[in-house]
Chains A and B, each alone.
Chain A
Amino acid sequence: METENVKPVREVVVPGDLLNEGDLKAGNGTYVLDGKIYASLLGVKSIASNYVNVIPLGGRYMPHPGDSVVGVVIDIGPSNWLVEINSPYPAPLHVNEVPWRVEFGDTARFLNLGQVILAKVLMVDETMKVQVTLNESGLRRLEGGHLVDISHSKVPRVIGKGGSMIQMIQNMTDCRIFVGQNGRIWIDGEMPNMLVAEEAIKMIAAEAHTNRLTERVKELLENRKTGLVE
């Protein structure tokens, strides 16, 4: 693990910090003033394929088309549901966007208040009107289980490189886990196992900035192994 120690320390920038370096283009979390690029977010500076980006350290989730999100039904209309997806804007789910045939006004029979769903963001327009869909394979109602909310900026860390982290938790706790891009995570399994998986995810979120996290999570899971149900 020597290589991890020589990794260059990534620079933390605050809004207003100058990012200009050579002929780079302004990417996410930046703005341009008088031809110079400045950070507009508190985050970590990163340079990828000629773009300077600021990767946020916090902030609210903003929906993007194609994101898988875990949402909660908060309102029911005659031909649509309102889904809360942890962003500033609630997302309507229209009856045309579900895999069932729903009669007008019969929406509550299919999804009731508080129902948790795994949905996909269908479209977001410039006025931030969001639409989600269930019409795709893998998208569905989520019955039972636990929800864990973390910051959306920690999601890549929970998933790990190529899904390594989340797979390890799934295998060792024998739970089914869905991680929404909005930072909402659904866990289902035996009760003691769910609690261990929850603990592991909270630990990842709290220590997302540290190195060799996978090893420490593995250690935690092994320590808790005796309490798990096969």
Chain B
Amino acid sequence: MSMESDIKFIDENGLRIDGRRPDELRHIKIEAGVLENADGSAYVEFGKNKVLAAVYGPRECHPRHLQNPSKAIIQCKYNMMTFSVSDRKRPGPDRRSVEISKIISEALESVVQTELFPRASIDVYMEILQANAGTRCAGLVAASVALADAGVPMKDIIPAIAVGKADGKLLLDLNKEEDNYGQADVPMAIIPKTGEVVLLQMDGHMTQEEFETALDMGIKACYEIYELQKDALKRRYAVETPEVEE
């Protein structure tokens, strides 16, 4: 972040280097139920980001000492594939992926009705197949669709998005260049039903006014993503309307 560069992020027409307006999302594609062997799964593309999420459970919690006798725990694993970035990523958990796994599981815990499954564990695996800034948001979007697909009871589906600053201007959904050479990056996630914020981080510098505008921009975009998430889940069963025998 905040590396010096002479890239112009906004051209004369007010468009960004990938042709988007400052408050425009990248193309988002969400598909639910893509894996056969997991209880639930989702595939998400945020522009050039590609994320696959799989959910197992609720199932018996191992190791035993992590069990909570009053509710289920959510164990997330965020992992970047070695080929997800241009310089081969050394495989295995590192400081960054451990942090992202933790914040995503905390965000999900706020919507999943964990008290229905005491002593159990709900395992969420996110694999970043291709990264282009904003993978934690894409991962969380994929994870919450996969959880709903797995039939896990939850209060709402969580959308997530990042707002950043480059060239002194606030930009929605930063791409890699804007993230690397910009001044700030603020990923956020909300519960659309209540407006509660379940994930909010900031890297870089912003004034208080900028931060508040960024938050408004992000929340507005979250509702757009929320519709796409719901649509992906409903599309999976569009023709599959089961009759129920009484």
Using CB atoms and an 8 Å cutoff, list the residues of chain A in contact with chain B: 7, 9-10, 12, 14-17, 29, 31, 33, 38, 40-44, 46, 55-60, 88-90, 126-128, 153, 156-157, 159-161, 208-211
Contact = CB atoms under 8 A, between A and B. Distances in A.
Contacts of B194: 33
Given A58-B151, A161-B245, 5 more contacts: A12-B234, A12-B238, A44-B241, A57-B240, A156-B245
Contacts of B234: 12, 14
Interface of B: 39-40, 57-60, 69, 111, 113, 117-120, 148-157, 192-194, 230, 233-234, 237-245
Given A33-B193, A58-B39, A40 B244 contact: no
B242 A44 contact: yes
Contact of A31 (B113, B150, B240, B245): B113
Contacts of B230: 14, 16-17
B153 A15 contact: yes
Contact of B155 (A33, A42, A59): A33
Given A31-B113, A127-B119, A159 B40 contact: no
Given A128-B118, A156-B244, A14 B151 contact: no
Contacts of A208: 242
A4 B188 CA distance: 47
Nearest to B119: A128
7 contacts: A12-B237, A42-B149, A58-B40, A59-B153, A128-B120, A161-B245, A209-B243
Contacts of B243: 7, 10, 157, 209, 211
B193 A56 contact: no
Given A14-B230, A58-B150, A88-B60, A46 B39 contact: no
Contacts of A161: 245
Contacts of B151: 41-43, 56-60, 153
Nearest to A164: B245
A42 B156 CA distance: 11
Residue among B152, B230, B242 with most chain A CB within 10 A: B242
Q: Which 10 A-B pairs have the closest CB atoms?
A: A59-B151, A16-B156, A58-B151, A209-B240, A209-B242, A88-B120, A88-B58, A40-B153, A15-B154, A14-B233
Contact of A44 (B153, B238, B244): B244
Contacts of A43: 151
A10 B238 CA distance: 10
Contact of B118 (A12, A58, A127): A127
B242 A160 contact: no
Contacts of A209: 237, 239-243
A69 B243 CA distance: 23
Contacts of B239: 209
B109 to A, nearest CB: 15
